[in-house]
Amino acid sequence: MENHKILVVDDDVRLRELLQRYLAQQGFSVDTLPDARDLDRKLARNRPDLLVLDVMMPGDDGLAVVRRLRAQGEPIPVIMLTARGEDIDRILGLEMGADDYLAKPFNPRELAARIHAVLRRHAQTPVVMAQHDADEVLGFGNCELHPARRELLRGGQPVTLTTAEYAVLLALASHPRRPLTREQLMELALGKGGGESQDRSIDVHISRLRKLIEDGDGAPRYLQTVWGYGYVFVPDGKARDTT
C-alpha cells in the first residue's frame, strides 16, 4: 500500500501530536505545522498528498490559505477542520475550494476515513470513470471534459477543479439530461450517502462549477436546477421541457 504523505496545519499542539501519532499508526507519513507561514516551502520541498487544515489559526486562517492555493492553480486535496456549530465556516471552506470538512471535536478514525475517501477521489473518480473510453471527450459550450485525463478545458485552457468538483461534474456529464438528486450525486461522485449537511455541500460544489463553466449572463445553461429534486446536465444548453 502506498504510504501517503499528510500535512496537518493546526495551532493546537496537542491535536497535532495526537493526529501525528494516530495517522502514522494508520500507515500515513505525517508532518505538521503550527500555522501556514512555511506552507509554501513545504509544498515545494516535500510535497504532501493531502492537507489537513484548521480554519482558525494565527496569521492567515485556513479559509485564506485555501483561497490563495486555488487562485494559484494548486490542486492539492484539502480537508478543513472547523469549530462545531460553525456551519458558515464549512460552507465557506467548500466555496474556497476545500474537498471536505470535519467539525471539532472529532474522532481521529473519522478523519482517517475522510482522508482515504478524498485520496481515492483524487486518484480516480469512482463509479462513473469506468463508463468512458480513454479518448472520449464530453463537450458543451466552449468547454471540454476529458475523463481519462481528469481535465476540464474552457476555451482550450485548463480549469482548476478540486477533486470533489471534478467528480460532481463528471457524474452529471455522464448522465446527460437525466435529473439526479443530491443523494444520487453524493453516491455517484463522492461515494457516500446524503444527509442535510452533504446536500448543502453538493449545492456549494454546483455553485462553484457554475462560476467556472457558465457564461454568467443569465440562468445556468449546462448545470440546471430541477426544482424540488436536484440537478441535471444539459450539454446543448437548451432549456428543459418540464411539461
Segment 161-186, tens digit of pLDDT: 887 888 889 889 988 999 998 888 88
Instruction: Please tell me the predicted confidence (pLDDT) of residue 174.
Output: 87
The distance of Cα 224 from the centroid of its chain, to the nearest Å, equals 20
> How confident is the model over 24-51, as a mean pLDDT?
91
Give the separation between CA 134 and CA 67, rounded to whole angstroms.
32
Instruction: Please tell me the predicted confidence (pLDDT) of residue 210.
Output: 93
> How confident is the model over 125-136, as a mean pLDDT?
52
Check pLDDT > 60 for residue 194: no
Does domain 129-233 fall under CATH 3.30.9.10? My reply is no
Does domain 5-123 fall under CATH 3.40.50.2300? My reply is yes
111: which residues sit within 8 A by CB, 6+ positions away? 19, 23, 52, 79, 102
Check pLDDT > 80 for residue 129: no
- pLDDT tens digits, 82-128: 876 566 777 777 778 888 888 888 999 999 999 998 888 776 544 44
> How confident is the model over 68-90, as a mean pLDDT?
79
CA distances from 160 to 147, 151, 193 (A): 14, 8, 26
Break the chain into its structural domains and give their ranges.
Answer: 5-123, 129-233
Instruction: Please tell me the predicted confidence (pLDDT) of residue 3.
Output: 84
Check pLDDT > 60 for residue 200: yes
The model carries a pTM of: 0.64
**DSSP string for 146-164:** EGGGTEEEETTEE----HH
Where residue 60 falls among pLDDT bands split at 50, 70, 90?
A: confident
Where residue 197 falls among pLDDT bands split at 50, 70, 90?
A: very low
Q: Is the Cβ–Cβ distance between 12 and 54 less than 8 Å?
A: yes
Instruction: Please tell me the predicted confidence (pLDDT) of residue 118.
Output: 86
Check pLDDT > 50 for residue 243: no
